[in-house]
Structure 1
Amino acid sequence: MTTSIGGLDTLCLAVTYRLRRRDAYVGAGQGGVPGMITARVSPINESRHFAPQELFFSLTDDKGRIRYGNQVFTRVSGYSEHDLLGQPHNIIRHPDMPRGVFRLLWDYLGEGKTIAAYVKNLAADGRYYWVLAAVTPCRDGYLSVRLNPSSPMFDVVKKAYADTLSVESPLEIEHGKPYAIQKSLEHLCGAVESLGYKCYDDFMRAALCAELTARSRIADARPTSSLRVSESTAAGDLLDLHASLANLREQLGEIFRSLDVFESLSTRLVEKHEAMEELGPSLTFLSLNTHISASRLGDDGAVLSVVSRNLGERSKDADRLIATLMQRMTPACDAARAIAFDVAVAQLESEVCSSFVEELLEGDSGGDQALVAESLDSLIEELVDRCHKVLVALHSLRDDIGVMKHAACNLVGRVDQMRTAQLNGKIDIASRKNAQGFEAIFEDVARIVAEARRDCDDIIELLNTTGERLTALLSMEVALRTELGAARASTSAAVGSRCEPV
């Protein structure tokens, strides 16, 4: 709000000043998001420092205009809160960033999905700072939480971005921005695939987990410090919220550390996939060969014909059960990775909430108390929603694991029946002089059945281990929901206190 101290002339000057400031930021926008003319800040090849343990966040409206950011954001970006509020978030866009990255970001957000991406930002003094940003849709806009990247993946990404920019820049000059952005995005997706990831989802999940793991190894990542609590009507509620968030972070950390079993499950099940898929067709082929060879023996082949039919029927049953197993396997593995990603994002959100509450307790939150209260409420609301999403996904995954285990156990039964049929056939041909060639067939059946049984046992062991871990994680559900409820209640009380007129 502009305070009038000199009548109409002063008001007109203020309006003109604001319009000029707004025009200075409008320019190279994309995807319906207001842009900026970065020429107003000349980039220099120096980085701005922020500590590995620091996190910062910003809230924007649905057009990407900044609604609020914490003290770390304003300090690292080099802008004052007044300079940032109401401005498009790409006020900090660095020209070294490929536009394809931002197209990817807006595509994800447009679908209502969270995205994690490495971003090089431009500070007010021209220096740069890198972040890994987790951006998610939230009430009336978007929430972006950023950390200081330090994993080995970060160096790989910097090179991939430089290569992508070298493709994008000449194409923009020659063919225009839309064409260049599309080709930039294609090049970026190709770079992700060349790193061994089938899609950007897999890459960003691995990147976020790698960064959190690297960050946790840094000594004193969350140094203990005493809060300088300012006098405030909301101080008690904020202290309660701070305590609830500390408990919530501990529980989320335990879940995150337990999720390695899902990655192991995913890797091992993929290894078993091809072997299991080959089981049914291989046995069907061998049973057909047995039936054809037995028919040539006339009445002497009656027993072998029964054996071959038995093998054929069991192989069809096995095919059906394998299909059930395969249908559940891929989505279950994807769900496990998605849960790990959501827990990682929840960890970041809970930590940045704690940091923000500390700012509020110390009285360093800025002047607009209604805006501060709204921002705190948005942060907690997003965190609570994400944690609830994690709990629902864990229940769903446990159900999928149960279905897979049931199919695997039934498959073991069919494999054992095939083993019995194979032994009966082997006994029958042992007493026959005219059964040449059957030995090789039944030896092949024995080998395939033995391999299938080992694969089934491995899968059941993996599913049992994962099921036990899921049960252990879900045993925390009551405590987790209790802390979420306490956090929501403390936030409502604190927000109500801050919105009261002074």
Structure 2
Amino acid sequence: MTEPQSQAQRPTTGEAPFGFDEIFFSRTDERGVIQAGNQIFQRVSAHPWSKLIGAPHKVIRHPDMPKGFFHLFWERLKAERLVSGYVKNRAADGLYYWVYAVVSPMPGGGYISVRIKPSSELFDHCAQEYARILKLEQEQGLTPAESADLIVKRLNELGYTNFEHFMASSLAQELAARDVKLGRKASERARSFADVATAVREARAHTDALCETFSAIEAVPHNMRILASRLEASGGPIAAISSNYGSMSKEISDWVDKFILGKDSAFSSLRHAVSRSRMLSATARVMEEAQVQFDSEADDMLEGGDRLAEKDRLHEVSQKYRKLSDEYLNTVEREATTFGRAVGDMKRLIAGLSTTRMMCKIESARLPDHNESLMAIIDQLDRFQSELEDRLDKIGAITSAVLKAARSLEVGGVAGAPQPASAPTEAA
């Protein structure tokens, strides 16, 4: 059998022993000064309690960590918002240890932190990115704020909407990887959230392609006006078709801005709500596991606080996030319903292209000596309509699947229950 990490001989170099089954716990004041912690935290850090309690949490900070990360971290904490991420720490004896930290503001002030051992593929990639960012900090003399901007830009390049989107995805991946390490079956809730997140990514790819096609369509009215000036007198039928198509193109553009691209669009709100609910659910889960660990620890395994009191704090915060996760699922339902209806409206609008194409064909037949350019436009409209209808069908199907999954994920609620008039608000 593998020797428990709590009994493993500590090496003189390299990584400090830390088990996948172990969860760090610590509580700090609003300045980051350590108020309490569990025995796992003390053992791995190798600092005596006399050096930890009353010390700033940065006493364990490793020089390999980019300053930009902590800038992002503290920006969220000072705004009373939940934060998570990968952190490399340095123990008193010089050993290092990586954790995935989840830190939450506490009612009444201060912060509570739980940390697990990371093991996902994303972790390895992030460690490399940290090294790259740190090198840039040192070579270019970047300020923490400049480094933080660089980190967010890099996350965007990797496909994350923002730092919060990365938090939700990384925590979910670490919990899934931890389940594998511990030989546990992934929870049905976690799998459902993963499926929803995948569906939203697929919908994002289709909406991006949809926007590209819409952008290409915008040139059609202009091309038709040029053609009309060559083939007919002012105010002729081709010019009228061009005008009608221009109006339709404007409606399409407005729809894209309202339902896809806008910061407050239905699709943007849907993506945010899915990511937020997933993050809050995963946070509640890891804090609930920390509570279970408290049950197996003796009273003297915690310093600076009462074991039951600290467990109650964890329970209060985890229940808060579990409830908020469910509220965001209500938001997912509402936005998915809104977006699904909007997709249906757009499909009906796109069907109007058939009329435009038919009118173009009639005019093409009327102008046999000059119909080559007009036929090219008709062919272009055929391709556009076919592609748009295909994309909209796929987006509609994905949106329906997201809506169904969100209803099944609700805890303590009834599918189709009345939804809040606005998205949930929280200092997390």
Where on the TM-score scale, by shorter chain, does this alignment land: which range? 0.7 to 0.9
**Quick one: percent identity of the two aligned structures?**
28
How far 1:259 sits from its partner (Å)? 1.6
How far 1:468 sits from its partner (Å)? 1.1
How far 1:283 sits from its partner (Å)? 4.1
- Looking at structure 2, the residues matched to 315 and 367 of structure 1 have their Cα atoms a distance apart, in angstroms, of 66
In the alignment, which residue of structure 2 is the partner of 1:86?
54
In the alignment, which residue of structure 1 is the partner of 2:194?
260
Structure 1 residues 40-439: aligned runs within 5 Å: 45-81=13-49, 83-139=51-107, 140-168=109-137, 181-182=144-145, 184-185=147-148, 188-189=151-152, 192=155, 197=160, 199-220=162-183, 253-280=187-214, 282-290=216-224, 293-294=227-228, 304=238, 307-326=241-260, 327=262, 328=265, 329-359=267-297, 363=299, 366=302, 371-430=306-365, 432-436=367-371, 437-439=373-375
Cα gap change, 1:403 to 1:363, in 2 (>3 Å): same
Which residue type is aligned with residue 114 of structure 2? V
Give SS of 1:203's match: helix
Cα gap change, 1:322 to 1:194, in 2 (>3 Å): closer
Q: Deviations over 1:126-170 (max 9, x none)?
A: 433221111121222111110011122333333333444445568
How far 1:220 sits from its partner (Å)? 3.6
Q: Deviations over 1:280-299 (max 9, x none)?
A: 55445434544564566659
CA RMSD of aligned residues (A): 3.3
Cα pair 1:398 1:470 within 8 Å, conserved:
yes
Give SS of 2:99's match: strand
Which residue type is aligned with residue 412 of structure 2? E
TM-score, length basis structure 2: 0.80
TM-score, length basis structure 1: 0.70
Q: Deviations over 1:202-223 (max 9, x none)?
A: 433333222222111114459x
Give the unaligned 5+ runs of structure 1. Answer: 1-42, 223-249, 480-502
Cα gap change, 1:349 to 1:219, in 2 (>3 Å): closer
Give SS of 2:270's match: helix
Cα pair 2:23 2:290 within 8 Å, conserved:
yes
- Looking at structure 1, the residues matched to 133 and 318 of structure 2 have their Cα atoms a distance apart, in angstroms, of 34
How far 1:390 sits from its partner (Å)? 0.9
* Mean CA deviation greater in 255-264 or 389-398: 255-264
How far 1:418 sits from its partner (Å)? 1.5
Which residue type is aligned with residue 156 of structure 1? H
- Looking at structure 2, the residues matched to 158 and 295 of structure 1 have their Cα atoms a distance apart, in angstroms, of 61
- Looking at structure 2, the residues matched to 270 and 348 of structure 1 have their Cα atoms a distance apart, in angstroms, of 29
Give SS of 2:81's match: coil
How far 1:122 sits from its partner (Å)? 2.8
- Looking at structure 2, the residues matched to 100 and 280 of structure 1 have their Cα atoms a distance apart, in angstroms, of 38
Cα gap change, 1:344 to 1:366, in 2 (>3 Å): closer
How far 1:198 sits from its partner (Å)? 5.7
Q: Deviations over 1:31-75 (max 9, x none)?
A: xxxxxxxxxxxx963322121121121111111122222232233
Cα pair 2:71 2:144 within 8 Å, conserved:
yes
Q: Deviations over 1:351-408 (max 9, x none)?
A: 112211333xx5555588x733432222111111111211121111221111111111
Cα gap change, 1:316 to 1:198, in 2 (>3 Å): closer
Cα pair 2:168 2:279 within 8 Å, conserved:
yes
Cα gap change, 1:104 to 1:44, in 2 (>3 Å): farther
Larger Rg computed on CA atoms: 1
Q: Deviations over 1:386-439 (max 9, x none)?
A: 112111211112211111111110110011121133124324533553552322
Cα pair 1:295 1:301 within 8 Å, conserved:
no
Cα gap change, 1:414 to 1:47, in 2 (>3 Å): same
> Is 1:460 paired with 2:396?
yes
Which residue type is aligned with residue 212 of structure 1? L
Cα pair 1:57 1:143 within 8 Å, conserved:
yes
Which residue type is aligned with residue 33 of structure 2? R
Cα gap change, 1:285 to 1:98, in 2 (>3 Å): closer
Cα pair 1:321 1:410 within 8 Å, conserved:
no
- Looking at structure 2, the residues matched to 367 and 302 of structure 1 have their Cα atoms a distance apart, in angstroms, of 86
